[in-house]
Amino acid sequence: MRLPFGNNSVECAKQILAEIGITDTLNSGATTARRLAESWDNQWLDLLQNDTNNNLYGALTNLGVFFAVGTLLFFMMQWLKDVIHSEYSRPISALVWPFIVVVLLSNAGNGSILSNLTLGVRNFINIVNQQVITTANANQVYQQALNMSVAEEVAGSLLRPCQSLTGEQQTQCLTKASERIDNLWSEYRNLYGDQTWISRLETQVNQIRFGTGIVTENNFNSLLGNTAQTTIKNFLISLQFAFQNLIEATMLLIAALGPLAVGGSLLPVAGKPIFAWITGFLAAGIAKISFNIIAVLTAAVIVNGPAQDPNANPDLMWFIIFLGILAPLLSLILAGLGGMSVFNAISNSSELVRDRI
């Protein structure tokens, strides 16, 4: 796994960003989803496999067993009714559910079959997610698009204090700020090569540094944004990271509730709770994958379009708004539609199997 910056550049960026109030945004990129998943790995293992007799999952498994025992009474009542009033094929096929529940909820202390299956599906989703990111982000377009926007805020925040100065003081201030920003351009070139957007931003900074007279506020705002934009971008970037963590937490919560869904599946109803549980888990995985596809494809539009024009000065606020608000909403909508399709497919398949047994 390659991070957007090397070790030296990370320290340099952190030092600059710490002084202007932006936190570790330069060290983010399309591999964020993978790094977030890795940071949750220990929590998944602790919950689903380590000492499941005494942890939270073990307690929920015991509660699921209690639900199974309680719903078994309703299951037997419906089963006897089918034996009396129906053909034997339906009651015989229905007997498979108690065996499924018993097998899935068997807890040996190092994880039940249900917990191991759940962890396996989660790992498969993460593998697919990382393959999608690696394939679509071969040229690090997501890192470039995000860092392109952040670099404007870094440069603007370092140069803007010089605006209130005049004469020699302003010249010295601009020189010191530009020297620090030059380190940032060097790090970008080491990572992405001599990209057009890096040269464009460097030229904009030099125009302010070597300009004659007093640098006006309009020049700062037109070329490098303003403090309000910095605050908004910082918030929206943090918002997308929060969304990715929310997806991971949601999947973990759904996984923890698996024993309850299995225990309630003996209820004689058409829509089994286990089907809804599977649908919710897969829908969360779809949301994770969809968000990363949307983010990478949108970043590619910027990097392969306006970023290649040396005369363009694109306003990337729309990209940050898209990542922080619109992309999460769109991925949730896609996940909801995909989840409904999965649920209908599972329900129809179970009815077909039941009718043919």
Q: Which residues, other chains included, contact 310 with Cβ-Cβ below 8 Å and sequence gap of 6+?
A: 196, 199, 200, 203
pLDDT beyond 60 at 354: no
Per-residue pLDDT at 37: 61
Each residue's pLDDT tens digit, 266-307: 877 767 888 889 999 999 999 999 998 998 888 888 888 888
pLDDT beyond 50 at 224: yes
pLDDT beyond 90 at 33: no
pLDDT beyond 50 at 356: yes
pLDDT beyond 80 at 348: no
Which stretch of DSSP H or E encloses residue 256? helix 227-256
Per-residue pLDDT at 56: 87
Please compute the mean of the pLDDT values over residues 233-262 and round it to a whole number. Answer: 89
Per-residue pLDDT at 109: 65
Q: What percent of the chain has pLDDT over 90?
A: 12
What band does 40 get if pLDDT is binned at 50, 70 and 90?
confident
Q: What percent of the chain has pLDDT over 70?
A: 78
Residue with more model confidence, 13 or 113: 113
Output the CA torsion 279→285→288→293 (10° steps).
Answer: -100
CA neighbor of 64 nearest in space, from 261, 197, 239, 255: 261
Per-residue pLDDT at 6: 34
Per-residue pLDDT at 29: 43
Query: Structure tokens of 84?
Result: 């009396």
Please compute the mean of the pLDDT values over residues 205-223 and round it to a whole number. Answer: 60
Per-residue pLDDT at 281: 93
Please compute the mean of the pLDDT values over residues 188-198 and round it to a whole number. Answer: 85
pLDDT beyond 70 at 352: no
Indicate the range of 22-26, 114-118, 119-123, 286-290 predicted with least confidence: 22-26
Instruction: Tell me the C-alpha distance between 318 and 315, whole Å.
Output: 7
* Residue linked to tokens 């539009």: 301
